[in-house]
Structure 1
Amino acid sequence: MTALPPPVMAVLLFVVWGTTALRLVWTRHGVVNTRQNVFLVLASITVLMSKSWVHRPLDETFGYGTARHFGNAIIMLSFASLFSLAVAWALGHKKWPRVHVVSMAFCALLGIALLMLSAPARAAGQRLEESGGWQYAGYFVVYAIPSLTVCATVVFVATKSLRRTSVRSERRMFGVLTGIGVVSGLDAGSMAVAAVMSAMGVTNGFTEFRTAINGVTTMFILVGMCSVAVRPAIRAAMETFQLDRPSRLRRQLSPMWRTLTDSVPGVVLELRPADRGALPSRMALHRMCVEIRDSMLVVDEYPQFGRVPPLGEDRDLSVAVGLHLSCMARAAGESPQPDTSQIRSHSVDLRNEVGELARIAGHWAQAGRIAREWVAYRESVPN
C-alpha cells in the first residue's frame, strides 16, 4: 500500500478506532449490532497493521510483507461479517442463523490461501507486485471473491431498501451504503483485473496506477462504513446522557407536566422504577405528551377565576395562562364547567403535537407569573 501522509493516516485511525470504541460501549446488543461490531473490530486490526511498530516486527520475524498479507486476510474476515450483516438486514437475523459462522470459515480459508500465494514473494523479500507471476494474479483474484460478493449483496440490499422507505434519514443511509458498495466493487474488480494483466506481462498506465493505490482506497472505504456505523452509537450515547432531542424536549415540557399532573395526578401512568429507567427516551416523551394532553382536557373544564383578558395574538401564551388559571381553580375547589372548554389541539400527528406542547411550555414560567398577578388583581378588586 502506498504510504499516506501521517496527518491523513492519523485521522483515518482516529475515525476507525473511535467508531469501534463507541459501538463497543453503546451498541453491543442484538445480532445486527454484533455482526457490525465484529466487522469494525476486524477493520481496526487491519488498520493497526499499517503502523510501523506493528508491521515491522512481523515482517522481520516472518518475512517481508507478512503484516500486509495478514491484514488482507483479516479484511476478508471483516467482509464475511459484513456479508452476514447484509443478510440479516435483508432476511432478518432468524433466517440463515449460521450464515455468520459459515461465511467467516469460508473467508478464513481464503485468508490461508492468500498467505500461501504470497509465500514466494515473502521468501524473496519482495512486494507481491514486484514478484509477479501467477501467484500475483491468483492472490488478488482470491482477495476479490469476498469483496465482490459483499459489494453485490450490500448494493442489492441497499437499493431494495432505498426504494421501500420514504424516511429521509433512512434513504440517506441506504444511499451512502449503495455508493460505498459500488466504489468497493470497482476497487476490488479493478485490482483483480490489473493483477491478471500484470501476470500476463501487460504493463500500462492503468496497471501502474492500480498497483500504486492498492490498499489506499480500502482505508477510505472503511471511513465511509464508519460514517454509517457510528450514527446509532452516537444516538445511544446522547440518549444515555439525555442530550438527544426527545430528552431535551422532555426537559422543556417538565415544568408544564409537573404543574398539570400535580393538579390531575390520576393521569400519570405508573411504572415500576426498573421499567421507567429502561424506557427509551422517545417513548418517555410520548408518555409525557399523553399525560399532559389528558390533564389539559381535565383542567380545561374549570373556570379560570374570571378569564384573563386577551393577550394579543400569542395563542400559546394565552393557552398557558389559561391552564395555570384552571389549575388554580381546580385547587381552590371550583366545580368543573364543561361548556367553558377553550383549548383545541391543532396537531395532526405526534411530531406536531410535541411541537405544539413545546411552544406552550416555552411560555410556562411567564404564564405562571401572569396568572398569579391576574388572580391577585381580581381578589383585590371589590365585588
Structure 2
Amino acid sequence: MTALTAGAFLRLHAMSGAAPMWLMVPVFGLQVAVTAGRWSLVNETPADRLINRALSFSAVCVFAALWDTDLSADGYPSRVFLVCGVLALTSVYGLAELFDGADPAAVRRRQWGYDGFAVSGAGLLLLGDGLAAPANWWRTLLWVAVFQLPMAGAGVRTMRACLREMPRASSRLERIAYSALMVTAAYWCGAALFAVAISVLRGVTYPTEWTVASCLVYLFVTLLTAVPLVRAVGVYSGLDRTGRELRTLRPLWRDLTTAVPEVVLPATGRITEPDSRLYRMVVESRDALQQLRMYMPRDDSGELGIAAYSRRIAQAVDAKAAGVAPSAELAAGENPYAGEDVDAELGHLLELARAWPGGVSEPARANRR
C-alpha cells in the first residue's frame, strides 16, 4: 500500500511562491538517498520497481530544475525535465493501476505502452522552440494529455483503491497510511486541474514553477517511500525484531542441532530471508528438543521453571554425547513447554534461549558447529 505513495513527482502547481534553494536542495538530497537505498534493498516486486523508477525520473527532473531554474527557456535542462517528467508520471499511473487491481503479470507490457505514448507526446512538445514556444491550442491539449490526465487518472484510481481497502484495514496505523495516501491522491487531482486552469487562463502551456507547497508535498511523499527502506535496513542489519530474535535463538539452536544433527533440514540454497531463517531454526530446535527428551534424566526434585528445564535439556545434550541409551518412555512423557503453533514455539524457545548460556558442558560445546 505504501507503494502508491511513490510517485509524487507532483510538481509545481500551487498558489504559493517559488521554493527557495535552501528547501529544494535538502529535499533533493534526501530523495536521491532514498532512491539509491530503495534500488539496493527494496526492489523485489513490480510495485517496488515502479516506485523506484518514478523516484529516479523525478530526481532527474529536480536536478534539471536546480541546474536551470528558468525551465521555460528552451535548452538541455528543460528537455530533460520534460522527458523524465512524463516517464515519472507514467510510472505513477502504472503504480496506481496496479494498486487498483490490475494484473501484475502484465505490468511490463502496459508500461511500455504508457512510456511510448508519453515520450511521443513529449517529443512533439519539444519540436520547434520546445518549452520556449508560445502556447497554442494543440500544445496545450498535448500538455494536458501527457501530463495532467495521467496525474489526475492516478489520483482517481488511487482514491478508489483506498476507499475499497480502508474498511479492510486491520490496524490504526494502516488506516492512517491509507488516509495519507488519499490526501496525496487528492493533491494529484487538484494539481492537475489547477495546472489546466493556469494553462488556459494565463496562456502558458507549461507551468513549471517549483512552489513551496509542491516541494513540501514532494518531501512528504519521499518520506513515505522511505518507510519500506527503513524496514529493509533494519532487516539487513539485524536490528529489527526478527533480527533480534535470530540472535537470541542462535546459541540454543547451534547447541541443539549439534547434539541432534539429524533434525537439520536439507539445504535448499542460501536462505537470506530473515523470517525464513527464523522459521527453520524454530522447526529444527523444536525437533531437536523432542529427540533430546529421550536422554533427559528423571526429575525427582519437583523443581519447576524454565531455568530447571534448561538444565535438564543441557544434561540431555551431555548424556547423548556420552553415549547414554535413549529412553522411549521419557520421550513419551508430557512436555509442559510445548507450543500449540509456531508463534508459541518461538516464544518458548526464546525464553529457553535466555536461560541457556552456560548450561551445556564444555565437552558438548567443543563439538558444536
Bin of the TM-score, shorter chain as denominator length: 0.7 to 0.9
Which of 281-290 and 5-14 deviates more?
5-14
Structure 2 CA distance, aligned partners of 1:95 and 1:82? Answer: 16
Structure 1 CA distance, aligned partners of 2:34 and 2:95? Answer: 17
Stretches of structure 2 lacking an aligned partner (at least 5 in a row): 1-11, 365-369
User: Shift in Å at residue 148 of structure 1?
Assistant: 0.3
8 Å Cα contact 1:27/1:232 also seen in 2 = yes
Counterpart code for 2:326: S
8 Å Cα contact 2:156/2:185 also seen in 1 = yes
User: Shift in Å at residue 167 of structure 1?
Assistant: 6.5
Question: What's the counterpart of residue 299 of structure 1?
Answer: 292
Mapping for residues 276-315 of structure 1, pairs under 5 Å: 277-304=270-297, 306-307=299-300, 310=303, 315=305
Stretches of structure 1 lacking an aligned partner (at least 5 in a row): 124-130, 201-210, 373-383
Counterpart code for 1:356: H
Counterpart code for 1:299: L
8 Å Cα contact 1:301/1:340 also seen in 2 = no
Counterpart code for 2:68: H
Counterpart code for 1:43: S
User: Shift in Å at residue 106 of structure 1?
Assistant: 1.8
Structure 2 CA distance, aligned partners of 1:280 and 1:72? Answer: 40
Residue 14 (str. 1) matches residue 29 (str. 2)? yes
Residue 260 (str. 1) matches residue 260 (str. 2)? no
Structure 2 CA distance, aligned partners of 1:96 and 1:26? Answer: 21
Mapping for residues 233-272 of structure 1, pairs under 5 Å: 233-272=229-268
Pick from 87, 90, 106: which aligns with 1:80?
Answer: 90
User: Shift in Å at residue 37 of structure 1?
Assistant: 2.1
Which of 336-345 and 169-178 deviates more?
169-178
Residue 39 (str. 1) matches residue 39 (str. 2)? no
Q: Number of paired residues?
A: 340
The structure number with the bigger radius of gyration is 1
Instruction: Say which SS state the counterpart of residue 295 (structure 2) adopts.
Output: coil
Structure 1 CA distance, aligned partners of 2:337 and 2:129? Answer: 75
Instruction: Say which SS state the counterpart of residue 166 (structure 1) adopts.
Output: coil
Give the direction of change, closer, same or farther, for the CA distance of 1:177–1:118 in structure 2 (3 Å limit).
Answer: farther
Structure 1 CA distance, aligned partners of 2:194 and 2:24? Answer: 24
User: Shift in Å at residue 282 of structure 1?
Assistant: 0.6
Higher relative contact order (CA 8 A, sep 6+): 2
Question: What's the counterpart of residue 338 of structure 2?
Answer: 345
Structure 2 CA distance, aligned partners of 1:4 and 1:319? Answer: 65
Instruction: Say which SS state the counterpart of residue 304 (structure 1) adopts.
Output: coil
Structure 2 CA distance, aligned partners of 1:149 and 1:81? Answer: 12
Give the direction of change, closer, same or farther, for the CA distance of 1:172–1:110 in structure 2 (3 Å limit).
Answer: farther
Question: What's the counterpart of residue 356 of structure 1?
Answer: 348
Pick from 97, 108, 113: which aligns with 2:119?
Answer: 108
Give the direction of change, closer, same or farther, for the CA distance of 1:352–1:8 in structure 2 (3 Å limit).
Answer: farther
Residue 26 (str. 1) matches residue 30 (str. 2)? no
Question: What's the counterpart of residue 3 of structure 2?
Answer: none
User: Shift in Å at residue 345 of structure 1?
Assistant: 2.7
8 Å Cα contact 2:248/2:350 also seen in 1 = yes
Which of 14-23 and 171-180 deviates more?
171-180
Question: What's the counterpart of residue 203 of structure 1?
Answer: none
8 Å Cα contact 1:300/1:343 also seen in 2 = no
Give the direction of change, closer, same or farther, for the CA distance of 1:175–1:331 in structure 2 (3 Å limit).
Answer: farther
Structure 1 CA distance, aligned partners of 2:309 and 2:183? Answer: 49
8 Å Cα contact 2:318/2:360 also seen in 1 = no
Counterpart code for 1:350: V
Counterpart code for 2:259: S
Q: TM-score, normalised by structure 1?
A: 0.73
Question: What's the counterpart of residue 163 of structure 2?
Answer: 159
Structure 1 CA distance, aligned partners of 2:50 and 2:346? Answer: 35
Pick from 319, 323, 341: which aligns with 2:313?
Answer: 323
8 Å Cα contact 1:303/1:340 also seen in 2 = no
Larger helix share, 1 or 2: 1
User: Shift in Å at residue 252 of structure 1?
Assistant: 0.9
Structure 1 CA distance, aligned partners of 2:172 and 2:311? Answer: 37
